[in-house]
Each structure stands twice: as C-alpha cells, then as structure tokens.
Amino acid sequence: MAKKSVVSEAKEIQTAIEMIDLGARLQLLESETSLSRERLIKLYKELKGVSPPKGMLPFSADWFLTWQPNIHSSVFADIYHYLLTHADCRGIAAIIKSYKLYLEHCQMSEMEPVLSLTRAWTLVRFFEGRILQTASCTQCGGHFVVHTHDLYSRYVCGLCHTPSRAGKTNKSRVAALTSIAATSPAAPIAS
Amino acid sequence: MKANELTMEIKELNLTYLMLAQQMVRADKDMAIFRLGISKDIAEILAVLTPGQILKLANSNMMLCRIRFDDNLVLGMLANYGKEKTMMQSHAAILLAGQPVEEIS
C-alpha cells in the first residue's frame, strides 16, 4: 500500500469540512473521502456540535419525480451537466460546486432548498446507475429528471403543465393562512 | 442621449463587465463558466488578460457582452411575474442551463 501523503490528507479534510458545512451525511463522507470513520465522526462533532445522524440514507428514486422535488432536482441536474460538459471539474468536486450554485439559486428566488447535498449525491449516483436520466420537455425544451425506462417521446414537464394541486404542501398552506390572518384581523368571526 | 455619451456608457459597461468576468474566473473557473455562460477557452483567455489589454478591449463602440435569452420562452418566463414567481425563476434557470455556451468560432 502506498504511503499516506499528508498533503492529500489535508485536502481531503478540507473537502470533508466543506461537505459537512453543506449538510452531508456520514455515509457520503465515508464514500467520497479515504479518511477513517472515527476521524470523520470526530470532525463532524467538532463542526456541528452533535453526533452525526444514524440510520439509512434516503434511497427512493421516486422522490425525485414528485412535483416540487422534481423542479429542484432538475435545476441541480442541469447545473451539474453543464459543469460536466463545459468545465473541468469531475466527481464530488462537480457535485459540491453545482450544489453551491443551486443553493445560490434558491437564495436568489427566495425559496426553501428542498434538495439536500446527500440527495443531490444520490441523484448523481442514480444517473450513473442509469435509474434516472433527463428528458427534454416538448413544450419548453428544458431538461427534467425522469425514470430511464419511461416513455417520454411526448414528455411535458411539470412547469409547462402544472398539476392542479402542485406545491400545496401543508407547510405552504400554514404560511398562507398565517399571512391571511395577519392582513384581515378577525373580520369573519364578528359576523 | 448623444452619440458620444452612448459610446462612453458602452465603454464603461465593457470595462466593468470584463473586470468582473476576470475576477470571477480567477476566483473559481468552473463556477464562472456556468455563471457567464462561456466556454473553457474564453475563460482561460479572460483569466490571463492584463489590465492594459482589458482597457484596450473595452475601448470600443460595440458591446462586448451579449444577451443570453435569445429564446422567446426564456424572455417570457423572466418577464412573466405571475402567481408562482419562484417557480418561474426555476424554470428560467433550467432553460438557461440547457443553452449552448458562447464559444470561439
């Protein structure tokens, strides 16, 4: 076995710190760096102040196809593919960079980032394992995440053809109700 | 706006654009390639331009940056602030990321 280089180890720790800051789970760190599990746990505790969460990673490929996650993961996937085709970065570096650009996009358009770094990494692995791929919408021409073996010759994306209850999650309903309550003080109760 | 006022404005914008673009490429080349929508070759040229060269390039009566939403749809999407504003922006981002880069021909 080759002797461990201190410089490359320092670089790996730097990448691990960056990933932990972006919210990576321990399994992701273990598979993308060659640092030992003990060191990673120590690093995680030092940065976050708590032990890393236990349990399995989210593994469902269908999550990426539901309406809101599909839009978010398509934004990420398109940035990632752009970087792969036009820039020099590969592997985890490309994932981290595209994820940062995705977070920036969420911040600019004032929406909650639905996709976590761990999910983004899972998405890339699904692309590599040919479980998911992107298909272009016949109306707008944008590329969206789809199942590999689906029929998409006449595919229309969730944004050109929004389903009727799209985006109406419990959280957004509560937010809407509180904003209504704030603007009209107790008028309907009086009648 | 008089003609020479216009050229002054263009010159200033060119200079600002080139300086910002160079700064972006030097800070993080891959991210700059995405943000600016340019090819790797152009990014490499931008990174090595000297201040003198930037000044000479900027001193022109033609704009050096170009509008990226030549597609009707992207324009419509950016301009259309309807009920789902945030999703409009995501749609625009997806379409922009799918567009070809500016390359040296």
Q: Which range has the worst mean pLDDT, A55-64, B11-20, B84-93? A: B84-93
Nearest-by-Cβ selection for A143 from B30, B40, B94:
B94
CA B67 to chain centroid, in Å, comes to: 7
Provide the CB-side half-sphere exposure for B50 (13 A, CA): 2
pLDDT of A94-106, one tens digit each? 999 999 999 999 9
DSSP secondary structure code for residue A134 in this structure: E
B84 vs A38, more confident: A38
Judging contacts by C-beta atoms under 8 Å, the chain B residues touching residue A69 are none
Note whether A71 contacts B90, CB cutoff 8 Å.
Answer: yes
Write down the ipTM of this complex.
Answer: 0.84
In chain A, alpha helices (H): 6-21, 26-32, 37-48, 67-86, 91-108, 117-128, 170-183, 187-190
DSSP secondary structure code for residue A168 in this structure: -
Q: What is the pTM of this model?
A: 0.84
* b/e map B42-79, b = 16+ CB within 10 Å: bbeebeebeeeebeeebeeeeeeeeeebeeebbeebee
pLDDT of A129-172, one tens digit each? 999 999 998 888 889 999 988 888 888 888 888 877 766 666 66
| pLDDT value, residue A189 | 46
Note whether B71 contacts A141, CB cutoff 8 Å.
Answer: yes
Provide the CB-side half-sphere exposure for B10 (13 A, CA): 16
